Amino acid sequence: MTAKPQLPERTPRAKGEPTALDGLLVVDFTRVVAGPACTQTLADFGAEVIKVENPDGGDDTRHYEHAEIGGESAAFLSLNRNKRGIALDFTNPAALEVARELIAKADVVVENFSGGVMKKYGLDYASVVASNPRLIYCSISAYGRKGEFALRPGFDPITQAESGFMSLNGFPDGEPVRTGPPIVDLATGMSACNAILLALIARDRLGRGQQVEVALIDTAVAMTAFYGMAYLVSGANPGRFGNSPNGSPTVGLYQASDGPLYMACANDRLYRRLVTDVLDRPDLVTDPEFAHRKNRTANKEKLRAIIAGIFASNSLEHWMAKMKKANIPVGHLRTVEQGFNAPEVRGRDRLSQIPHPTAGVVPNIETPLHMSLTPTIDPVAAPLLGQHTREVLRKTLGYDERRIADLAEAGAFGKPGNTA
């Protein structure tokens, strides 16, 4: 059994440092991946994010089976840091009134329900904008909120498949492969966050909010990037190329005598340094078959076989030292365990442990965003289901204890009496 990694406690931020989104109130009706990834970024930089969940089980990711600690899943912990959690039963009229009051106070609402759900409960943009004209209302969906597919449910791997994105992943002689992590979900969450921040800037100029929308299928299409554009330009359908792009025969995975390395030697200047300073084969520059990029592409299998034979003749340590000296882009092929314990990661303080109410402490992966004047807040672990219901109602909406008790008794938070 693999031992869990030892993680340091996180160094607190300096006292008095401002945050980028201080004072911004976000009501988060999202679940699973794309929506929570979006709102977590807002929370990391100081927004007050109130995560609203169904009291009957909450966010689906709470029950994902990758791993769990303190009764919470790794998936949920990874996507819901720095949020305050409340539980509301939307089938209860009293709970819907609480949701409407939260929306009326919010700067931002983010939702990723199936099409028609928010409208069914009177919580869609058209139903709430009159009470809050400055509201930024972000909808995240698989196929958009309009058109013939608006009501169709969808998930990350489905849109990877349908957009053509998946057809680009894998080896030419194998079937298409989805990415391991849900890359379309995560990229859609990033896009949603960008859209919200753009709308907030526009609100400062225009004096009013707006509805913004992102869809998984749109993100997947955009992520075909220059391969999609190449198809539109040439009409030629791009295919899979494994670890070596078709136009870059010296990019890819190679085996040293004791393990794999990945090299990205993608231009003429790097190629010349590789074959002369690292491989000691200056003839691979003068040989007409390999002298120019187009020739190397035309003869890529022959060239790759030559390079592979040379790499196999010596150790990783040998080749890494020579390529580092020649400034050739190269890296070890690592597992997650190896990557998380590598100096490139540990040296940047990417991993830590933070307090958690049931687990004691839980691991934390830092946001990749860095800001010199407004750094991230000190991270707080993802909330337990309904953990902050009473606190939010009291502090954000100004409810007294009697009103909170009445709501609990009416079942607004699920079974009567269920409130944190």
Q: Are 290 and 282 in contact (CB under 8 A)?
A: no
Is 160:233 a contact under the CB 8 Å cutoff? no
Residue 115 has pLDDT above 90, yes or no: no
For 25-225+345-410, the fitting CATH number among 3.30.420.40, 3.90.1150.10, 3.40.50.10540, 3.40.50.620 is 3.40.50.10540
- Please check whether residue 333 is in contact with residue 261, taking contact to mean a CB–CB distance below 8 angstroms: yes
Nearest-10 crossing angle of helices 401-410, 93-105 = 130
Closest alpha carbon to 125 in 110, 142, 141, 114? 110
pLDDT digits (tens, 9 = 90+) for 208-251: 999 999 999 999 999 999 999 999 999 999 999 899 886 677 89
- The mean of the pLDDT values for the chain is 95
Indicate the domain borders of the chain.
25-225+345-410, 251-334
Residue 318 confidence class, pLDDT cut points 50, 70, 90: very high
pTM for the full model?
A: 0.94
185 included as an active-site residue? yes
308, 255 Cβ separation under 8 angstroms: yes
User: What's CA 318's distance to the chain center, in Å?
Assistant: 36
Percent of residues, the chain, with pLDDT higher than 90: 87
Out of 28, 44, 185, 218, the active site residue is: 185
256 backbone dihedrals φ, ψ, rounded to 5°: -75, 180
Instruction: Label residue 363 left, alpha or beta by phi (over 0 means left) and psi (-120 to 50 means alpha).
Output: beta
Indicate if 251-334 has the same CATH topology as 25-225+345-410. Answer: no
Amino acid at 71: G
Q: Which two tokens stand for residue 265?
A: 């030697």
Q: Would you tell me which CATH number, out of the four given (3.30.565.10, 3.55.50.30, 3.30.1540.10, 3.90.850.10), belongs to the domain 251-334?
A: 3.30.1540.10
Q: Which of 218, 53, 48, 43 is nearest to 140 (CA)?
A: 218
